[in-house]
């Protein structure tokens, strides 16, 4: 009560980062699920369609059920959505065996990356070389990429992992689409250092595979976090993209707080004349950002 009273005297300005909200891949997957559920009672999603519990709850009320790999093995004659992250070829084979109809929402950007890595793998299987993927081990997109090269790829998560890389040259290096571009650069530099490779050494070939929607986000986010006195970053705990963007935001503006929804916003974080910025990950729906704005506006009588 005391905090609320303190809040009522405050002058705050609140706005939403115009670059926040679902990326195109997630918008497309959610739209396809909603369209299907308008005429059908049930749709299965292999893995969470979006790493955001609140949005998943909304979709589950419409009839979307999230299943895992054990779950899909048991299904017969049902419809299953493949999310934007994509899947390895084994999943498509299983769907065929189990007579499952697929609504394939693999993001076109991920699909292009899968095709590219597959082509390179085909060439390397004749000429020799090593595929290295910078990404989160076990992440669906990374599993999809690894599956497309028959498991013949080394996944590195961090600069520390670089030391354990073995394999023959040339190295072909790819990144998961949602990684931090600066971290990707750090990985590439660490590999070059570790193997004494110069910048123009033909034994290392780097592919720019970070999604533009993600890489552009860093410049925008830097400006946005810099121009506000406090940032509320809204995203699900499970979102790897969310955690990366939150950490980046916090490195620019130390008064950055991560919340899953408006209920986690703490009024004691705010000070008089704060310029409040509301941001989210590529998995945060716009309506959740708007809920946070309404909550702050109502709490402080703005």
Q: Find the part of the chain contacting ligand SF4 (CB under 6 A) among 45-53, 185-193, 209-217, 266-274.
A: 209-217
User: Does residue 100 have a cis bond before it (omega within 30 degrees)?
Assistant: no
Residues between 40 and 99 that touch ligand SF4 (CB under 6 A): 84
Minimum CB distance to ligand SF4, residue 273 (Å): 35
Nearest to 29 by CA among 42, 13, 43: 43
Judged by CB under 6 A, which of 81, 82, 109, 142 binds ligand SF4? 109
What tokens appear for 102 in the block?
A: 């697929």
**Count of residues of this chain found to bind ligand SF4 when the rule CB under 6 A is applied:** 14
Judged by CB under 6 A, which of 162, 214, 231, 296 binds ligand SF4? 214
Q: Find the part of the chain contacting ligand SF4 (CB under 6 A) among 36-44, 208-216, 224-232, 252-260.
A: 208-216
Judged by CB under 6 A, which of 20, 213, 253, 256 binds ligand SF4? 213
Q: Find the part of the chain contacting ligand SF4 (CB under 6 A) among 18-26, 145-153, 162-170, 268-276.
A: 18-26
Sign of CA dihedral 37, 89, 242, 67: positive
Nearest to 220 by CA among 249, 241, 242: 249
Nearer of residues 14 and 84 to ligand SF4, judged by Cβ: 84
What tokens appear for 134 in the block?
A: 């910078």
H or E segment to which residue 89 belongs: helix 89-97
Catalytic residues: 141
Question: 262, 291 in Cβ contact below 8 A?
Answer: yes
Which residues are registered as beta bridge partners of 175? 134
CB atoms within 10 A of CB 40: 10
Question: 234, 259 in Cβ contact below 8 A?
Answer: yes
Phi, psi of 91 (to 5 degrees): -65, -40
Nearer of residues 129 and 280 to ligand SF4, judged by Cβ: 280
When asked if residue 105 is in the footprint of ligand SF4 (CB under 6 A), the reply is: no
Nearer of residues 216 and 237 to ligand SF4, judged by Cβ: 216
Nearer of residues 84 and 289 to ligand SF4, judged by Cβ: 84
Q: What would the x/- binding string for ligand SF4 be over residues 160 to 199, using CB under 6 A?
A: -----------------xx---------------------
CB atoms within 10 A of CB 223: 13
H or E segment to which residue 60 belongs: helix 53-62
Q: Which residue is nearest to ligand SF4 (CB)?
A: 25
Q: What would the x/- binding string for ligand SF4 be over residues 260 to 299, using CB under 6 A?
A: ----------------------x-----------------
Minimum CB distance to ligand SF4, residue 88 (Å): 17
Minimum CB distance to ligand SF4, residue 212 (Å): 7
Q: E strands, 218-293, where?
A: 230-234, 256-259, 275-280
CA dihedral 253, 219, 182, 121 (to 10 degrees): 140
Distance CA 75, CA 81 (A): 13
Interface residues with ligand SF4 (CB under 6 A) are 23-26, 84, 107, 109-110, 177-178, 211, 213-214, 282
């Amino acid at each position: 009560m005391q905090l609320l009273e303190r809040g009522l005297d405050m002058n705050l300005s609140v706005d939403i980062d115009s670059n926040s909200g679902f990326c195109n891949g997630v918008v497309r997957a959610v739209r396809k699920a909603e369209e299907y559920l308008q005429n059908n009672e049930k749709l299965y999603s292999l893995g969470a369609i979006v790493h955001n519990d609140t949005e998943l709850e909304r979709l589950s009320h419409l009839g979307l059920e999230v299943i895992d790999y054990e779950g899909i093995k048991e299904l017969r004659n049902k419809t299953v959505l493949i999310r934007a992250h994509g899947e390895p070829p084994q999943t498509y084979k299983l769907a065929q065996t189990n007579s499952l109809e697929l609504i394939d929402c693999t993001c076109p950007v991920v699909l292009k990356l899968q095709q590219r890595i597959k082509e390179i793998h085909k060439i390397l299987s004749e000429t020799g070389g090593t595929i290295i993927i910078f990404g989160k081990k076990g992440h669906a997109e990374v599993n999809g990429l690894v599956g497309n090269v028959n498991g013949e790829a080394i996944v590195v998560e961090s600069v520390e992992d670089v030391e354990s890389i073995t394999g023959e040259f040339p190295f072909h290096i790819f990144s998961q689409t949602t990684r931090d571009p600066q971290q990707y650069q750090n990985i590439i530099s660490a590999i070059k250092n570790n193997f004494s490779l110069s910048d123009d050494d033909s034994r290392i070939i780097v592919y720019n595979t970070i999604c533009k929607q993600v890489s552009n986000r860093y410049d925008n986010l830097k400006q946005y976090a810099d121009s506000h006195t406090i940032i509320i970053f809204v995203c699900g705990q499970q979102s790897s993209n969310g955690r990366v963007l939150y950490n980046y935001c916090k490195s620019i503006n130390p008064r950055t707080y991560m919340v899953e929804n408006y209920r986690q916003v703490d009024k004691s974080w705010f000070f008089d004349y704060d310029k409040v910025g509301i941001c989210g990950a590529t998995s945060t729906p716009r309506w959740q950002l708007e809920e946070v704005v309404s909550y702050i506006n109502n709490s402080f009588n703005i």
